[in-house]
Structure 1
Amino acid sequence: MTHAFLPAFLHSLARRVALRSPSSPVADSLPRRFAARSAALLLTCAALGSGGAALPLTAQARIKTTHPSVNVTTVLPQPVMLGLQRAHVPLSSISVVVEKVGDRTPILALNAGKPMMPASTMKLVTTYSGLSILGPEYRWRTSAYADGTLDANGVLHGNLYIQGTGDPKLVPEELIDLVQKIHKAGINGIDGALVLDKRYFDASTRDLPPFDDDATAPYNVGPDPLLYAFKSLSFTLTPSPDGSVAIDVLPALSQLQIDNQMHAVNGPCRGDAAAVSPTVTPQPNGTVVASFDGDYSVRCGPRTINVAVLDHSAFFAGGFLALWQQTGGTFSGATREGPVPVGARLVATHQGPMLSDIVRDINKFSNNTMARNLFLTIGATEEKAPATPAKSARAIEDFLRRDSVDMQYLTLDNGSGLSRDEHVTALSLADLLQRANASPVAQVFVESLPIAGVDGTMRNRLTNQGAGGNAHIKTGTLRDVRAIAGYVASADGNSYVVVSLINDPHSEAARAAHDALLEWVYQGPSQGFTKVSDPIAEPRGSKPRKNPHKRGTH
């Protein structure tokens, strides 16, 4: 299809990298009941100090204060206990911390110091660190360089180099800016090579195995210095009464061809997206054919299928050349990877959206690929490119230590939570949420979190309860993992930090327990509790057990 930059494409791409559920538009405004208390979430509390002052009480001291022995008596709200019982989740599988904003002594703590898999609540660590280290106005740069000569017709007799720094949101609406700037520099044709400079991230960060068996799932797309449109295609199938099925695709790739053998038929709409997913096959001549075959019911209506295809370099090259040719550019060379030579001249630079916008997409839609690119960018900026996960983990841990956030059991892998090797304690996440709320980036950070009953991954939760519209909550989902972490503005005018991590084979059934916890906090944590025995964290120095089951995270 001819190029069309749909306004909704950018956000739908951001959502689909991590989510399996259908996308829905983000609400334009917050409910009135939330607006009345939103300022309370952003207050810089005197108890936390200001200007980077040391926090008044270490996490270890708080654990000792709250849990003086291995088995102590604490309390859980009765609705939460009921939700856990119905889900068959034992208390040993859940870790909970509730604190009033500005007071780091938990009013509710269960297994608070136990290392747990956090799923996508780990994005809180990455995004808060990124905002603090890089600044909310940080922008990624994607630059074009040229060597050789330019003739009177605007043909470059040499190579065009594209150098990436990991822009997480380089979608068609953004990349077209670079293409147009290259044209404005007088270049209309290229008879040399298109060379991709991807040295900003270490080669070890590329071609990583997928998290699970669904290799074409967009949430499995790994990081890349020249990440384009999340390396995913959106095919939209539209059946017609005449028996045809129209197939449109975004973004356009220069090497992509569609073989459409679909037939629209009458009858009930059955089957899932896999039944109409394409077979994508690279050809010897360099083209890529997406083949569709079979019957498609008219009653199904339009359906969009998202598929991750090709490798990052082939995907970026195809996307760039599609835009280049659509804007009148010519190209007769080959594409390859390589460094920008010392003598090449800069011809154009595109600056991506500000980090504040990126963080909003990462947290609202739980975008794994964007989070992984941000994670590596932190390592590249703090410890010099090329970025590696080890550099990034070290940079974040050093920052948190300087920021007086005690995260003794923090284990970082890729910064997105799409990992069985990332661990954190509920108490550590509570520390981070307290510090973030008292930091210079508080407003940007808090506003990036999904709002219960309104948007993001919380848009369909607590819609008819008091907590709806009054809770900024990051969710986390893996197989055997459910997690929530964020802030709740309660009916009594107070604001609370809430963290709950469940690691259990029955965790999927425990969503009601988490919703009950958020509603209980909204109503005011002075209601009834159910007494429970609170096993403290695993012994110091012990390693969390790995779980072999895997699934996408959000």
Structure 2
Amino acid sequence: MTIHPLFPSLRRSTTHWRTICATLAAAALVVAAPADARKPRRHAHQVVTAPLPASVMHALRRADVPLSSVSVVVERIGDRTPIVALNAQTPMLPASTMKLVTTYAGLSILGPDYRWRTSAYADGDVDRNGVLHGNLYIQGTGDPKLVPEELIDLVDKIRQAGITGVDGALVLDKRFFDPSTRDLPPFDDDAEAPYNVGPDPLLYAFKSLSFTLTPSPDGNVAVEVIPALAQLQIDNTLHASAGACVGVDTALTPSVTPQPNGTVEALFSGEYPLRCGPRTINLAVLDHTAFFAGGFLALWRSVGGTLNGTTHEGAVPAGARLLAVHRGPVLADVVRDINKFSNNVMARNLFLTIGAVADKPPGTPAKSVDVIERFLRTQALSMPELTLANGSGLSRAEHISANSLADLLQNANASPVAQVFVASLPVAGVDGTMRNRLRTEPVLGNAHIKTGTLNDVRAIAGYVAAANGESYVVVSFINDRHAAGARAAHDALLEWVYRGLR
């Protein structure tokens, strides 16, 4: 299967037409796979490869990044003889390009139409007023996109089953993932950053609150929060002030504190310059159990539901009856979100799901690693240096070589899931993590590229449909203390490939 651009003459006319055609090109795939797409690779020591172009070398020098810190592979789709291979077999930190391994394996093992299920059960009797005299159980299987718009479906179905109140406990069944996968230390010191949220069988709204602050000329500052949590109370003493938009960090970041009565207070205080306009901050707060319970109860009460008991974790008993099932979005849509926006917690939930489904619950990283490695072997993808930890790339323990990732991209492009997989990647200058890159360059709309960024790491991996009608696999890792300044080198590499390696 080969990706290719549409309407190249239109794409070169005006910015308007280039943007339209870029969007069309992002979805265009030719279904005929090259006959040699799975042939063994000819390694770099067996062929003479082209040097990196002058534009890339110049950008690396400006960033003070030596070639010893760079790994690059460029190949034509369907031909595993590298055109460029630099340090191609060296194990590197891939950052979020490791999501390509997880999402390709997930699509292939589970299928693009796989859907997670979140189920509600009950024990006890329901009286004529719709009150359940027993417990309400919610059982999760790791749905990565259980957001308010999805969870309300389960709430509505519980009510349709005849229950309007619960005179018992809300019990959360989270056995689908092993308890050892919870409460892991954050990747860095920013523990409240959404990218540090860990996986959970009842992951709700990415376990993150989105606060939007909007100042008004009367001196008030409105604070809105998504999603609603039953236990969350906002204490807002912000005042809109005159002057330049400076020093708003304190006002933007609330102090979130659990209270003795079980509520959680988000305190906003200080001056908020009117000129700053609306601002949004995202924070990961509470643990998964408290966050899900608060979110579910907020939705349950919003439709008139009541709960008289406590909330805790526990298993659905054998005699409980099934009330309702919410089926999440298909995996193809979830993979699109994971790759377009580099969502770490969604990738981690998918990673654990692979092991739990292909082996058996509870899911563990070890099970997922074993299942994914077995899948790669069935595809004749030998990756002796591959190290998987959580499948998201948010790790200093995950490694892969440019050779191996290029092999995976070749294999994926010749696979039954090629169209879904390629379409999930950010498109240069158009969307996802590539939306603000290369917007004024001819490669706009003609590169499907997964990006990756950590401190000391920059990475790109994906496909380029070149102006000469050829399509290429491109992988590059930079592992260096100056990597943050080397984005221009990766952009220059993509431009060079698009121009037909000229």
TM-score, length-scaled by structure 1: 0.86
Q: Identify which of 169, 176, 181 aligns with 1:200.
A: 176
Residues 87-236 of structure 1 aligned to structure 2 (within 5 Å): 87-236=63-212
CA RMSD of aligned residues (A): 1.5
Q: For residues 43 and 418 of structure 1, what CA distance do their matches in structure 2 show?
A: 35
* Matched letter for residue 162 of structure 1: I
> Quick check: 316-325 or 265-274, which moved more?
265-274
1:47 maps onto 2:36 in alignment: yes
**SS state of the match for residue 61, structure 2?**
helix
Q: Identify which of 53, 66, 75 aligns with 1:77.
A: 53
Distance 1:468 1:297, change over 3 A: same
* Matched letter for residue 117 of structure 1: L
**SS state of the match for residue 52, structure 2?**
strand
Provide, for residues 80-128 of structure 1, a one-character-per-residue CA deviation record: whole Å limited to 9, x for no partner: 0000000000000000000000000101100000000000000000000
Cα pair 2:94 2:393 within 8 Å, conserved: yes
Q: For residues 372 and 274 of structure 1, what CA distance do their matches in structure 2 show?
A: 31
Cα pair 1:365 1:457 within 8 Å, conserved: yes
Match of residue 368 from structure 1: 344
Cα drift, residue 39 of structure 1: 4.0
Q: Identify which of 39, 43, 64 aligns with 1:56.
A: 39
Cα pair 1:40 1:494 within 8 Å, conserved: no
Distance 1:80 1:142, change over 3 A: same
Q: For residues 42 and 475 of structure 1, what CA distance do their matches in structure 2 show?
A: 25
Distance 1:255 1:445, change over 3 A: same
Cα drift, residue 35 of structure 1: 3.9
Match of residue 46 from structure 2: 65
* Matched letter for residue 497 of structure 2: V
Q: Identify which of 405, 410, 431 aligns with 1:429.
A: 405
Match of residue 303 from structure 1: 279
Q: For residues 401 and 243 of structure 1, what CA distance do their matches in structure 2 show?
A: 63
Provide, for residues 253-304 of structure 1, a one-character-per-residue CA deviation record: whole Å limited to 9, x for no partner: 0001011111111111113545421101101111001001101011111111
* Matched letter for residue 88 of structure 1: D
Percent identical pairs in the alignment equals 71
* Matched letter for residue 436 of structure 1: A
Cα pair 1:42 1:446 within 8 Å, conserved: no
Match of residue 8 from structure 2: none
Provide, for residues 450-486 of structure 1, a one-character-per-residue CA deviation record: whole Å limited to 9, x for no partner: 0000000000100011111110000000000000000
* Matched letter for residue 510 of structure 1: A
Distance 1:95 1:321, change over 3 A: same
Provide, for residues 127-180 of structure 1, a one-character-per-residue CA deviation record: whole Å limited to 9, x for no partner: 000000000000000000000110000000000000000000000000000000
Provide, for residues 158-206 of structure 1, a one-character-per-residue CA deviation record: whole Å limited to 9, x for no partner: 0000000000000000000000000000000001000000000000000
Residues 149-548 of structure 1 aligned to structure 2 (within 5 Å): 149-271=125-247, 273-525=249-501, 527=502
Distance 1:168 1:255, change over 3 A: same
Distance 1:270 1:43, change over 3 A: farther
Cα pair 1:38 1:489 within 8 Å, conserved: no
Q: Identify which of 25, 31, 49 aligns with 2:20.
A: 31
Q: For residues 469 and 79 of structure 2, what CA distance do their matches in structure 1 show?
A: 15
Q: For residues 84 and 42 of structure 1, what CA distance do their matches in structure 2 show?
A: 37
Q: For residues 26 and 278 of structure 2, what CA distance do their matches in structure 1 show?
A: 40
**SS state of the match for residue 358, structure 1?**
helix
Provide, for residues 360-408 of structure 1, a one-character-per-residue CA deviation record: whole Å limited to 9, x for no partner: 0000000000000000000101110001101101110110110112212
Structure 1 portions without partners, runs of 5+: 1-26, 49-54, 68-72, 528-554
Q: For residues 446 and 369 of structure 2, what CA distance do their matches in structure 1 show?
A: 33
Cα drift, residue 30 of structure 1: 6.0
Q: For residues 359 and 276 of structure 1, what CA distance do their matches in structure 2 show?
A: 32
Q: For residues 77 and 31 of structure 1, what CA distance do their matches in structure 2 show?
A: 30
Cα drift, residue 44 of structure 1: 1.4
Cα pair 1:156 1:192 within 8 Å, conserved: yes
Distance 1:404 1:521, change over 3 A: same
**SS state of the match for residue 229, structure 2?**
coil
Q: For residues 126 and 307 of structure 1, what CA distance do their matches in structure 2 show?
A: 26
Q: For residues 383 and 481 of structure 1, what CA distance do their matches in structure 2 show?
A: 33
Cα pair 1:40 1:495 within 8 Å, conserved: no
Structure 2 portions without partners, runs of 5+: 1-15
Q: For residues 24 and 300 of structure 2, what CA distance do their matches in structure 1 show?
A: 45
**SS state of the match for residue 238, structure 1?**
strand
Cα drift, residue 40 of structure 1: 5.5
- More contact order relative to length (CA 8 Å, sep ≥ 6): 1
Cα pair 2:25 2:445 within 8 Å, conserved: no
Q: For residues 42 and 245 of structure 1, what CA distance do their matches in structure 2 show?
A: 54
* Matched letter for residue 136 of structure 1: P
Match of residue 537 from structure 1: none
Q: For residues 259 and 314 of structure 1, what CA distance do their matches in structure 2 show?
A: 20
Provide, for residues 473-520 of structure 1, a one-character-per-residue CA deviation record: whole Å limited to 9, x for no partner: 000000000000000000000000000000000001110000000000
Distance 1:339 1:146, change over 3 A: same
Match of residue 5 from structure 2: none
Cα drift, residue 31 of structure 1: 3.3
